[in-house]
Amino acid sequence: MKIINIKLNRGIYPVLTFFVLSIVIFMISRTALLIWHPEGTESHIFDIYKYGLLYDVSINCSMYAVVFLICILANFLSKVPAFILILQKLLLSLIITIQLLLEVSTPSFIIEYGVRPNHIYVEYLIYPKEVVSTLVNGHLFESLFCILICITAFILFYKLASKLYRDYTSIKVKKSLLCLVLAIVLIPYGIRGTITNHKPLNPSNSSFCTSPLGNTIPVNSPFNVFYALRHISDSDIKSSSIFAFDNTVNVLNNYDKFSKVTKPETIDNSCPINQVITPKISPSQKRNVVIIVEESFGARYVQSLGGDPIAPELEKLKNEGWWFERLYATGHRSVRGLEAITASYPPSPLASQVKLEHREELTTLSSIYKRLGYKTSFIYGGESHFDNMRSYFLNNGVEEIIEQKDYKDPEFVASWGVSDEDLFKKANEKFVKLSNNNQPFCSVVFSSSFHDPFDIPQGKVNIDGVKTDDPRRLTAAKYADYALGKFFEQAKKEDYYKNTVFLVIADHDSRVRGIGAFPLTNYSIPALIISPDITPRVDKRIVSQIDMLPTLLSLTGVSGEFPLSGEDLNRDDIIERAPVSYNELFGYVKGDKFTLLVPGTAPIFFKIGEHNTITESDSLSQKDLTVSVSVLNLGIQIYENNFQRISCIKGLKQE
């Protein structure tokens, strides 16, 4: 029997060794994730490892391609120079260490976001100051552990590479030429990940079940992250990342099944989503408008909405205004909430409107009230450049931005900016000054204390009596509520209070996890409108964040035609519905039914139970499916055709 003797210190074998070692690391990580979260994957084990191998080969071909070429070209030399060998050892060690880092950081990302590292992971890298501060102040142990692992791994991998390159010998020119030809031919195919399919491998190729996490297990984290990096600036939608495209005609024809609005007598085809808002309330004078966006404050922190007793101040305030019991967030990121609240924009497969470039000013809260003579502002405790908020607000009607640098001697500065108490103190000072000058104002106030790593002033609140495995998070939530209560306590003493419409609303829930088909339980959020022109009441209708802007316009006596997608909730005949999105998943809530659209698979229908739990249903609703697909495409059509431009507003006036 002849034994094959392969010398690993010859030719391309050192690079191949690291190539295979990377695959072993990915497979071990994949297996660990399967053991940790087997939900929905039990009957797809073969597919998970089959597709997993394709993703592993693809990312390895991408990351090791340069080293392969350096190694092969160096073999044409009679003796490979020492510096080239050192370069190869460094590159191999660095590549596999980066891969290991991304896999090691995966569990923490899953705990927070419910899926493997994706575009969110990449987007946060743009803001190193906030990320580093968050890691140091809230995840120091995990960060040091990852750094220690990476340093140790790099040293060990470099030692392995040094061993492989010890007494290194090149191969003959003919073999080097053959290797070069094979590399030029095979590496591109390896990166592409498929021969028969006309489209390259992408994360959605492994979608085989109804679990968002289960569908990401085959995709190694480096592939996911580098795929997101390549497409971070894309403003178009690929067919692989959407359930189905729909044309403009169908989308507009189904629009009246999505929102109950009054259409203009004469429809302008260039502004087809225009709705007529006719206020039922005529305030005696111009009402100020203040929207307080509470970071990550989902219904789970509000006892009357089925959550923990974390928000006593909000619970007291709800008795003074219009309280919404079944309001849904459109997404799980702040930028989704902001586009919905301030622009009545529906969720879509596109990036948020906060991040996209626009050809013309949009119709937003600020752009409307600015034209009515209001002083418009965005007040934030952190740095407004984060998530492109500064550009979005300044380009769309906001005249003044107050951010972290504008606070003199704040009492407490956290990773994401000054404390909510400092934020509200500044906001109150601003409102008092404007009110004293008889200047009506419209302001968006965005809190940040309830944000990982949850560093807040000590001794302000406690959560005694609340059972939790995450006391730091709940304490920060209670502090956010405490600061909100202090603001209203002070505001009620000011003259502007009795002439102001307040909206308190969350942007999204905290820690939305993709366990199960869709995390609908995490989409219920609190919302409260306090106004001198309304009587306190509880609204049990199903509504959305996108309905807030039309409702505020109506409450403040503003009338005209507006290119807004939401409904005026002052009407009694609204359509009760809520569009929701989670990464590439799109859902549509209608009554007790939930339609889920997943790229690459058939639609799934669910029945909604208590606390928004969902159970799969056999009943197919073709009508709900048709409307869901149209709503999924509505945001795309609005953006691509510029349907929400400010010039679409007609007959703007305030009674």
13-23 pLDDT, tens digit each: 999 999 999 99
Average pLDDT over residues 125-133: 79
The first and second tokens of residue 83, run together, are 């510096």
Q: Which pLDDT does position 242 carry in this prediction?
A: 82
Q: What distance in Å separates the CA atoms of residue 319 and residue 447, rounded to the nearest whole number?
A: 22
**What pLDDT is attached to residue 5?**
54
Q: Which residue has the tokens 């946060």?
A: 124
Distance (Å, rounded) from C-alpha 466 to C-alpha 474?
Answer: 9
User: What strands lie across the sheet with 558-562, from one edge to the other?
Assistant: 275-277, 558-562, 650-654
Q: Please give the angle made by the CA atoms of 211, 214 and 217, to the nearest 5 degrees.
A: 155
Question: Which residues contact residue 552 at a Cβ distance below 8 angstroms, ignoring those fewer than 6 apart?
Answer: 289, 291, 365, 501, 503, 529
**From CA 566, how far away is CA 277, in angstroms rounded?**
11
Other C-beta atoms within 10 Å of 470: how many?
A: 12
List 597's β-bridge partners, or say none. 586
For residue 36, give Cα distances in angstroms to 30, 107, 213, 496.
10, 10, 11, 54
- Report DSSP letters for 512-573, one per residue: ----SS--GGG-EEEEEEE-TTS--EEEEEEEEGGGHHHHHHHHTTEEEEE---S--TTSSS
**What crossing angle do the helices spanning 128-138 and 140-164 adopt, rounded to 10°?**
110
What is the torsion angle, in degrees rounded to the nearest 10, for the CA atoms of residue 375, residue 380, residue 386 and residue 387? -60
Residue 95 has pLDDT above 70, yes or no: yes
pLDDT tens per residue across span 145-187: 989 999 999 999 999 999 999 999 988 889 999 999 999 999 9
Residue range 479-500: mean pLDDT, rounded: 98
pTM of the model: 0.86
216 to each of 43, 55, 212, 349, how far by Cα in Å?
15, 11, 7, 18
Report which of 365, 376, 421 is spatially closest to residue 402, judged by C-alpha positions. 376
pLDDT digits (tens, 9 = 90+) for 167-177: 999 888 899 99
Structure tokens at 574: 């609204």
Residue 645 DSSP symbol: B
Q: pLDDT tens digits, residue range 198-209?
A: 678 888 788 777
Q: Which amino acid is at 525?
A: I
H or E segment to which residue 650 belongs: strand 650-654
Question: Model confidence at 550, in pLDDT bands (50, 70, 90)?
Answer: very high
Tell me what pLDDT residue 481 has: 98
Kindly report the average pLDDT of the chain as a whole number.
Answer: 92
Task: Determine contact, residues 397/367, Cβ cutoff 8 Å.
Answer: yes
Share above pLDDT 70 across residues of the chain, in percent, rounded to a whole number: 97
Q: Which pLDDT does position 97 carry in this prediction? A: 98
Q: What is the pLDDT of residue 234?
A: 64
Q: Which pLDDT value is given to residue 422?
A: 98
- Give pLDDT, residue 370: 98
Cα separation, 306 vs 308, in Å, equals 7
Q: Give tens-digit pLDDT for 295-351.
A: 999 999 999 999 999 999 999 999 999 999 999 999 999 999 999 999 999 999 998
Each domain of the chain, given as residue ranges in start order, spans: 13-232, 248-654
Helical H runs in 254-333?
312-317
Predicted local distance difference test score (pLDDT) of residue 83: 96
Mean pLDDT of the region 517-542: 96
- CA 385 centroid distance within chain: 16
- 378-409 per-position pLDDT tens digit: 999 999 999 999 999 999 999 999 999 999 99
Q: Which two tokens stand for residue 177?
A: 């030429």
Residues 247-293: pLDDT tens digits?
999 999 999 999 999 999 888 999 999 999 999 888 888 999 999 99
DSSP bridge pairs for 456:
none
The whole-number pLDDT of residue 2 equals 46
Segment 621-644 mean pLDDT: 93
How wide is the angle at C-alpha 247 spanned by C-alphas 233 and 354, nearest 5°?
30
Nearest to 95 by CA among 180, 51, 49, 160: 160
R_g (Cα) of the chain, nearest Å: 28
Parallel, antiparallel or unpaired: strands 604-608 and 614-616 = antiparallel
Classify each residue of 52-69 as buried b or exposed e, where b means 16 or more C-beta atoms within 10 Å of its C-beta: bebbbbbbbbbbbeebbb
Choose among 529, 514, 504: nearest CA to 581. Answer: 514
| φ, ψ of residue 400 in degrees (nearest 5) | -140, 135
Q: What was the pLDDT predicted at 3? A: 44
Tell me the CATH architecture of domain 248-654.
3-Layer(aba) Sandwich (3.40)
pLDDT at 1 over 50: no
Tokens 């001697």 appear where?
A: 409
Structure tokens at 138: 């809230």
Tell me which residue of 566, 568, 553 sits closest to 652, measured CA to CA.
553
Cα separation, 607 vs 188, in Å, equals 46
In this prediction, residue 57 carries a pLDDT of 97
User: CA torsion angle for 543, 544, 546, 551 (degrees, to 10)?
Assistant: 30
End-to-end CA distance of the chain: 97
CA atoms of 327 and 418, how far apart (whole Å): 29
Beta partners for residue 501, in sequence order: 289
